[in-house]
């Protein structure tokens, strides 16, 4: 029997408080729901069990996985190791936030073979943190990073936000200047004003001022240059890493690898089929794990490869597109010639890559190359 490579995502939808900007499937739940949830999650992991699945990465995300007892995290990982073949060099990440991370939890994570930490820092400016409803301070975030290092974690990411109301470039740069001493990877996201969030209401009521898009793009471009000086290379539009520390799991998503998603609202993509669990807690707790699957059409596969590929330094694979029926070099001959002539893209060997200084207009480039 041949082995099938796959990644695993596990969703932990619990947080200790809701940040003003966040509309992720996460919330504050009582302990009895948490207990029921983890029971169901373990049933789901067992339901799909297959020792011929070679698990190349596991990502425990949320919500805030560090907010729950490590007993639950240990059980989940034990269950995955028991029911799947986990590759020796699998990348195993857990998301954490500075309020709930403790030395004891970090030590447990190490025991469970977790080898990558992703900490939501967002900013190291106390005013910015307060504006977006974060419950930790700058010092708490720095302490969490120090603790992670002293517990032996060598692969650490921090999430930061660009465009927090009242953030200026100096504040953003100062955040990153400190973070780079502790981390091997940075995810810098443009703050999105999501519908039905407290932040969006605050903006509507003029309680805070929105940072306009051009300013955000300007901060982002400066940040790319700044991080580059310290060898944090951008490998995807929001992701920067030191050499050898790109996130395998994220790269796997962008390169179209298989992934199985377990838990509330989790998506899966396996053998070109896409499916998703319910985002409603009561429905998930009652689910029999039979979900409707959608087989991707050729057109969807082509679009997906172009949209995800162009956002990374690896670009799109011309040969792969040809193999699924899209000869991009001949179908988009004129567009490619014009984009190349104006230095927006480079066609190298078998790939089309967006030039580093043109990432600000990636969406327009993608539109030009879609079938
Ligand atoms: C699941 S959280 C990370 C772990 C933990 N829950 C925390 O917040 O510290 C994932 C990340 O998504 C980003 N995020 C959430 N809502 C966002 C929004 N509206 N715009 C941009 N980024 C957002 C934040 O940077 C956050 O750290
Ligand atoms: S940003 Fe993180 S901690 Fe804040 S509500 Fe969203 S998932 Fe929870």
Write the pLDDT tens digit of every residue in 276-312: 999 999 999 999 999 999 999 999 999 999 999 999 9
| pLDDT, position 264 | 98
In this predicted structure, the answer to whether residue 7 has a pLDDT above a threshold of 90 is yes
Same domain for 99 and 166?
yes
Under the banding of pLDDT at 50, 70 and 90, the label for residue 349 is: confident
Contact 82, 31 (CB under 8 A): no
| pLDDT, position 360 | 84
pLDDT, average across residues 213-234? 95
Q: State whether the beta carbon of 263 lies less than 6 angstroms from ligand 2.
A: no
Same domain for 223 and 338?
no
pLDDT, average across residues 308-331? 95
Q: What is the pLDDT of residues 19-65, one digit of tens each?
A: 999 999 999 999 999 999 999 999 999 999 999 999 999 999 999 99
In this predicted structure, the answer to whether residue 343 has a pLDDT above a threshold of 90 is yes
Task: For residue 28, report the distance from its CA to the centre of ligand 2, in Å.
Answer: 10
CA nearest 181: which of 106, 136, 232, 140? 232
Q: State whether the beta carbon of 97 lies less than 6 angstroms from ligand 2.
A: yes
Annotate 197-214 with DSSP letters as a single string: SHHHHHHHTTSS-PPPHH
**pTM of structure:** 0.96
Under the banding of pLDDT at 50, 70 and 90, the label for residue 127 is: very high
Q: State whether the beta carbon of 165 lies less than 6 angstroms from ligand 2.
A: no
Domain carrying residue 171: 4-254
pLDDT, average across residues 125-150? 98
Which residues are 190's β-sheet partners? Answer: 162
Q: State whether the beta carbon of 194 lies less than 6 angstroms from ligand 1.
A: yes
Same domain for 250 and 345?
no
| pLDDT, position 255 | 87
Residue 193 lies in a domain: yes
Under the banding of pLDDT at 50, 70 and 90, the label for residue 1 is: confident
Task: State the CATH number of the domain containing residue 69.
Answer: 3.20.20.70
Under the banding of pLDDT at 50, 70 and 90, the label for residue 210 is: confident
CA nearest 57: which of 252, 236, 241? 252
Mean pLDDT of all residues belonging to the chain: 96
Q: What is the pLDDT of residues 12-23, one digit of tens each?
A: 999 999 999 999
Task: For residue 260, report the distance from its CA to the centre of ligand 2, in Å.
Answer: 22
**Final residue in a domain of this structure, among 228, 254, 280:** 254
**Final residue in a domain of this structure, among 236, 254, 272:** 254
Same domain for 302 and 249?
no
pLDDT, average across residues 135-148? 98
Residue 273 lies in a domain: no
Under the banding of pLDDT at 50, 70 and 90, the label for residue 235 is: very high
Q: State whether the beta carbon of 266 lies less than 6 angstroms from ligand 1.
A: no
Residue for token digits 């990348």? 91
Which ligand is located closest to the Cα atom of residue 118? 1
Backbone angles phi, psi at 284, to 5 degrees: -65, -45
The total number of structural domains that make up the chain: 2
CA nearest 308: which of 256, 240, 367, 365? 256
Residue 319 lies in a domain: yes
């Amino acid at each position: 029997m041949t082995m099938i490579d796959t990644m695993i995502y596990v969703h932990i939808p619990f947080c200790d408080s809701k940040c003003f900007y966040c509309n992720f499937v996460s919330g504050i739940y009582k302990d009895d729901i948490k207990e029921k949830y983890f029971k169901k999650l373990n049933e789901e992991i067992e339901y799909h069990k297959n020792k011929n699945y070679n698990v190349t990465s596991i990502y425990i995300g949320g919500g805030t996985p560090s907010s729950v007892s490590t007993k639950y995290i240990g059980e989940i990982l034990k269950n995955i190791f028991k029911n799947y073949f986990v590759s020796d060099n699998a990348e195993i990440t857990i998301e954490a936030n500075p309020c709930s991370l403790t030395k004891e939890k970090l030590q447990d994570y190490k025991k469970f073979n977790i080898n990558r930490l992703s900490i939501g820092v967002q900013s190291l400016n106390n005013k910015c943190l307060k504006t977006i409803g974060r419950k930790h301070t700058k010092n708490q975030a720095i302490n969490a990073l120090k603790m992670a290092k002293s517990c032996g974690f060598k692969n650490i990411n921090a999430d930061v936000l660009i465009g927090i109301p009242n953030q200026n470039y100096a504040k953003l740069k100062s955040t990153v200047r400190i973070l780079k001493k502790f981390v091997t990877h940075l995810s810098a996201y443009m703050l999105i004003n999501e519908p039905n969030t407290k932040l969006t209401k605050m903006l509507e009521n003029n309680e805070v001022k929105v940072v306009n898009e051009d300013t955000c793009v300007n901060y982002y471009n400066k940040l790319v240059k700044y991080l580059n000086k310290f060898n944090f290379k951008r490998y995807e539009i929001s992701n920067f890493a030191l050499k050898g520390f790109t996130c395998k799991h994220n790269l796997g998503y962008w390169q179209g690898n298989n992934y199985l998603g377990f838990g509330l609202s989790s998506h899966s993509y396996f053998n070109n089929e896409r499916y998703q669990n319910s985002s409603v807690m009561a429905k998930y707790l009652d689910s029999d794990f039979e979900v409707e699957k959608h087989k991707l059409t050729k057109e969807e596969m082509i679009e997906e490869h172009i949209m995800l590929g162009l956002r990374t330094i690896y670009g799109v694979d011309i040969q792969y597109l040809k193999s699924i029926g899209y000869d991009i070099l001949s179908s988009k001959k004129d567009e490619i010639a014009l984009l190349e002539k104006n230095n927006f893209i480079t066609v190298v060997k078998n790939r089309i890559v967006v030039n580093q200084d043109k990432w600000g207009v990636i969406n327009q480039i993608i539109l030009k190359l879609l079938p």
